[in-house]
Structure 1
Amino acid sequence: MRPTTTLSLALFALAACRGGGAPMGPGEGPPPEPPGECAPVEEAPRAEPLQWKRAAAFEADLHAALELDRSSGCREVDRVPCGAVHLVALGGNDPLGIAQYEPVAEPLATTPLTVDRMVLGACANRVALDAEGAPRVFDRVDLGAAALAPADPAVRAQTEALYRRLLRRDATDEELAIVAELAEGLSARDWALAACFAIGTTTENVLF
């Protein structure tokens, strides 16, 4: 096949793809409106399904974000780590205690409540530790303040720090505004707990 013939075929295919018809000849009118670009050769791959961040991973990430461990994190009746008490609901399994050799395939009806309990307990303990000693997480606000204003720069700075710790990313302006609204009418200590709980219980922190 001659080079000129090959080039003509390529141009014809390109014109048909973009304009829906053959190239115009002399004296022909304008081409019809193009129907659109050609379909991609290959379809985009399907999005990977979300994965459940199960017991050990969820507890480890939460403790790392708030600089806690099992002795200082969430504990039931101040004696047993919440992760051990709610192991099954968090997606773990207990082959020795209850002869459960495989974890549940999907979150249980009690899983959301368990996540709330874990995060609330961990956040409450971190706030208490920071209020009573040298703050390690809540160091942008004065936890002894009787009231905070949503527009306080310290509120924004603390929220940004919590997003980076708990979700490992920067917060959007909209997210910062929503968390700042929680400060209205609250003491610094109560707001710190509410902000930590709100960010730590988002689906983004439970799924990946």
Structure 2
Amino acid sequence: MRTQSPVSSCVFSPDGRFFAAAWKNQVAFWDTDSCSVLNVCADYPGDVISIKFSPDSQNLLVVCDGGILCVDSIDNFELSTLLETDFDKNILDADFDGDYSVLIPSGGKNLNSYFLLRFTSQVIQKKLGGHNGTVFRIETAKQSEKPVAVSTSLDGQALVWDLSSYSLINEFHCNVENALPAVISPDGTK
């Protein structure tokens, strides 16, 4: 499969069965065993900025420009949940913090966890805290015994979160001049 547009995001599923790539308002899914395209989902409500698989590899979180987040089921490649935030909130990334809950920087700076009520647009919200600058990367440890996440803002502030208690574990600063965010190991230990 070829596209004339640059790829904006790509990711492997935690179980290694799927690969997904996004460009413009489309996401394509591949089976990693057969290297065949399973589906191309088009017509997202905006250009896709970021894509992330859930820890169980059953759902894909799609962050679109304009503050729109979509959760797709991998079983049938259908949109199961659409969450619209305010257009001016500058959401650049989000990630699952469980199989059905999502970490979103609301207002661009304050990190919140949203538990998605499947097949509805309703959510339950839990506030974590905030950054000084706009969050551009959120990453969770998908294979960790203790759920951990790291969020990085454009000013270089990186916050490490304990997602079982929604408390801050550590804060450090990183060089974001080259747009390199802080990352966390899959098991959450480093």
Of Structure 1 and Structure 2, the greater helix share is in: 1
Which TM-score applies when normalising by structure 2?
Answer: 0.26
Of Structure 1 and Structure 2, the greater strand share is in: 2
Which TM-score applies when normalising by structure 1?
Answer: 0.24
Whichever of the two has the greater Rg, that structure is 1
RCO greater where, 1 or 2, for CA within 8 Å and sep 6 or more? 1
